[in-house]
Amino acid sequence: MHSVCPISGATWAIAGRDVNELPPSDTGFATTIGNGVTPCDPINNGDCTQSPAELARYPFPIIGENLLEYGNFARGNSNAFQAQFEHRYRRGLMLNLSYTLLDQKSTIGDTANSSLGSVGYDIFNLNNDYAEDGFVSRHRFVAYGLWDLPIGRDRAIGHSFSRWTDAIIGGWQTSFQMFAKSGTRYTPYWSCDDCDPIEPGNIGSSSVDAVGDFGFPNFRPTILGNNFYTHQSGSNAIIWNASAFGVPSVGADLFSNPAAANRSFLVGPSVWGVNFGLHKNFKFTERVAANLGVDVDNLFNHPLLAPDFSDGGGGCGEGCFANVGAFVVGVDQTTPPPSGQPKLLPITNFGYNTPIFGQLIKSYQNEGVSPSRQVRLRLRITF
């Protein structure tokens, strides 16, 4: 039995935005000690705060930053091709093979709160984020099956076995489950060490989420070269080149900089894994039976190096696989411009890379396959 099925669908998605966020500009915001004139020093003193005039620039001045609202601001589209072959259990064999080719895109973040939705990165031009979703493989193959080994008194081989021989080597059944899929996409990002209330782009909001998983504030890098990928092997291999990504802009082109990395810019490693089982049923009486077997998760002890949400997202649960590094924002300490408002400094020299960006240092559970080989013996008696 086999089947082929094309699938297509478009949806609206819930997204969040800070309605008090200001459009990016070169006009300083929170770059003084609160008087609108004296430059603050966020790096050494941490004394930046909004002046009354700056607070008045908010659409809702009384509330200030982080006035989040959620609604159907985002859109998504999914197109898939699925093919399946199924051999139903007959003559001791059951087999199911399936393949999916998936093109899934949306304008919202890679991962999100299931009840609220992600906060958009550039809330003024959300459609600019229309890209392939993170943690979704374009190619995915899955197979599982059962096979009664043809050995035993009631099978093709071993008709002359004694009862004791048959009890030991006859009547066994194997099972397997395996998957293979292409690499999923990740959004590279920088975290900010001294943001809030001072922010790149003078946007007056810390609800900036480059990834879409409530790890804000974080920002997308600028691209310094086209050598994004490196090909190191061995332990602690690195697949992405951190030196190809620079810190974000601090000016009016914070979101519009053509050199900035897009959402889902990088592709992670492909993965595959196999589970295997061997078991046999014993019948002692009409009412008493037993099942003896062994189950091996990740039979070949093959590392599954595609980071999951805990390491691959902007929240940096246990690691920061897609985190290029961290930066701090500086304020020009020289004479303020004619407007009287001190400006942000370019932060080219204020960034530092995280040592684990793009490093394949951990194996993850994936598609029901354990991150490392696990062997479980089982004995179940029913009566």
* pLDDT tens string 207-254: 998 988 777 789 999 999 888 888 766 556 889 999 899 999 999 999
Whether residue 222 contacts residue 346, with contact meaning beta carbons closer than 8 Å, is answered with no
Residue position matching structure tokens 């246990």: 318
Q: Which one-letter amino acid corresponds to residue 352?
A: Y
List per-residue pLDDT tens for the chain, 383 residues long.
666 666 666 777 888 899 999 999 999 999 999 998 899 999 999 999 999 999 999 999 988 888 889 888 888 899 999 999 999 988 889 999 999 999 999 998 765 455 667 888 999 999 999 999 988 999 999 999 999 999 888 888 878 888 888 777 888 999 999 999 999 999 999 999 899 999 999 999 999 989 887 777 899 999 998 888 887 665 568 899 998 999 999 999 999 999 999 999 999 999 999 999 999 988 888 888 888 999 999 999 999 999 887 787 766 655 688 999 899 999 998 877 766 788 888 776 778 887 789 988 889 999 999 999 999 998 888 88
User: Residues 6 or more apart from 333 whose CB is under 8 A from it?
Assistant: 39, 41, 342
Whether residue 342 contacts residue 39, with contact meaning beta carbons closer than 8 Å, is answered with yes
Whether residue 263 contacts residue 110, with contact meaning beta carbons closer than 8 Å, is answered with yes
Q: Provide the domain count of the chain.
A: 1
Residues 315, 192: Cα–Cα separation, whole Å: 13
Whether residue 269 contacts residue 305, with contact meaning beta carbons closer than 8 Å, is answered with yes
Three-class SS of residue 201? helix
- pLDDT score of 268: 92
Whether residue 157 contacts residue 151, with contact meaning beta carbons closer than 8 Å, is answered with yes
For the chain, the distance separating the N- and C-terminal CA atoms, rounded to the nearest angstrom, is 37
- pLDDT score of 112: 47
Percent over 70 (pLDDT), the chain: 92
Residues 285, 289: Cα–Cα separation, whole Å: 7
Tell me the whole-structure pTM to 2 decimals. Answer: 0.87
Whether residue 312 contacts residue 178, with contact meaning beta carbons closer than 8 Å, is answered with no
- pLDDT score of 319: 63
Whether residue 119 contacts residue 109, with contact meaning beta carbons closer than 8 Å, is answered with yes
- pLDDT score of 335: 73
* pLDDT tens string 291-307: 899 999 999 999 999 98
Neighbours of 325 (CB within 10 A): 19
Q: Tokens in use for 15?
A: 């997204």
- Which residues form the domain of 351? 2-382
- Per DSSP, 128 falls in state G
Whether residue 50 contacts residue 44, with contact meaning beta carbons closer than 8 Å, is answered with no
Ramachandran bin of 228, using left for φ above 0, alpha for ψ from -120 to 50, beta for the remaining angles: alpha
- pLDDT score of 363: 92
